[in-house]
Structure 1
Amino acid sequence: MALTDKMLSRKEGHVGYLTFNNPERHNAVSLEMWEAAESYLAEFKDDKNIRVVVVTGAGGKAFVSGADISKFESERASKEASDRYNEAVDRAYAALYDFPKPTIAMIRGYCIGGGVGLALCCDMRIATEGSKFAVPAAKLSIGYRFAPLKKLVDLVGPSYAKEIFFTARQFTAAEAQQMGLVNRVLSDSELEAYVKNYADTIAENAPLTVDSVKFMVAQAFVDEDKRDLAKCEAMVQACFASNDFIEGRRAFMEKRKPVFTGT
């Protein structure tokens, strides 16, 4: 898959950071950016040292503002080209939504259209007070597919989902929090330190427990007859059979902080 300087990836301890780096266009996303995002997420997934991933946008003015319209002539001028773009978006969304480790969207500024879709693929969303959220599909006569719409309904409920789409207006961070779209709202100066501490806190906990809970919460939204309850139980038993379970007990008895290895 193509890599580009419009996407940045770095690792700090047990935390991986994925940054959409197109600030002159409010981090609007091109085909090559979606493909690079998928590639970086695959790298984080395979890295046993990475336990949490933070997704964010560069420049301070936007998280992600949707598709890069300036690229439409070259990337979406034909049905074949448009299909390739949509498939790349679907793969990137799936790579993030199905990512087996915790993910956090760190949102500053505009989170519009595909940016909302991207944030919905993360486990948690933490935003600044000045952030703005919108899905303007109804202002452009854009059809919105079922899968991403269902993610929004699952998170905020049907009434708020309809309000977001019917009005196509921009919502404040306070409104987004009221709807349940974001978990936390902070001042701009607090955001990065808070998210770093949040991610580090999660990363210091037992990975087998955290990852098993992520999997089982996702299973709760799958049709009952399609749930993989055998895998749920196997993940629970793996926690009890792990070295980390021994470490957790010993650390508790010795009144010290546990050091988990994920084994």
Structure 2
Amino acid sequence: MKIREKYENGLFTIRFVGEDFNQRGVNIYDLGHSLLAMQRIVHKAFLSQEGRLQKGAFPRKEEREALSLQVGERKRKSDAFALVPVLSDPAVQEAMKELAKYIFSGIVGYYTGNVLDKIHKEKDQDKKIFIGSLYTEVANIVNRIDASGSVEAISLGSPLLERETIASFNSETKEYLNSLKDEYFLGDYQEIKGSVYKLYPSSRIVAIKRAGGSTVSIFLKDEDFNEIRYRRETKPEYLFKGRPKYQFGVETKSVTEFEADAVEYVAKDS
């Protein structure tokens, strides 16, 4: 085995903890889901840094080669696997090392239980979307816990960054992730404009159509909703001020939901 592929040189490590693993290894289903999630996290991190993270996005063929991971060494320490880049090029190795730092800075909030606070304090909009989008992959890993495969806990680390354990998940953190399933976070304050074409009185939401044809659901205060509802005009145009809403697991900066704290009517001749 090459030196760089040894467990102690792993860019990432994933360790499955369970009493049964003294006798056997983790099953293929749990391992496969977890390894695929780790690779997808690497892709998301790269796309985020490039400003290209959006729904359905995927690194280009030549980029995927440089981002690809392989199992370097398996260690019967419970049942642990070291992941290293496929390519041994020093430039690739260094780039992946920096990418790992970016990844763990996003994952740690899911482990510590304050991911919403971390997103709120993050100034970089691309990084906010990245952290929120990680929910899908982190949940895919953590959902292996207390399932049918005897996994009691899972820890992620990076020996290459001199961090044996960076995030450790158990049944309690699994419950925390489950609580985030329908949660959302707010993006940067901004203004959007569009024509109202549908109203939802029971939820105080209006649907607007923006220039270019995209649609957005606007969440409003009672008084703002009523102002729009009772205006005697077909498809009135408004300027909405507030923040876009992003659901955990979503991979796009495109605005589809918006929480408005102020509205302004746009006259037809303006």
Q: TM-score range by the shorter chain?
A: under 0.3
Structure number with larger C-alpha Rg: 2
TM-score using structure 2 length:
0.24
- Between 1 and 2, higher relative CO (CA 8 Å, sep ≥ 6) is seen in 2
TM-score using structure 1 length:
0.24
The structure with the greater share of residues assigned to strand is 2
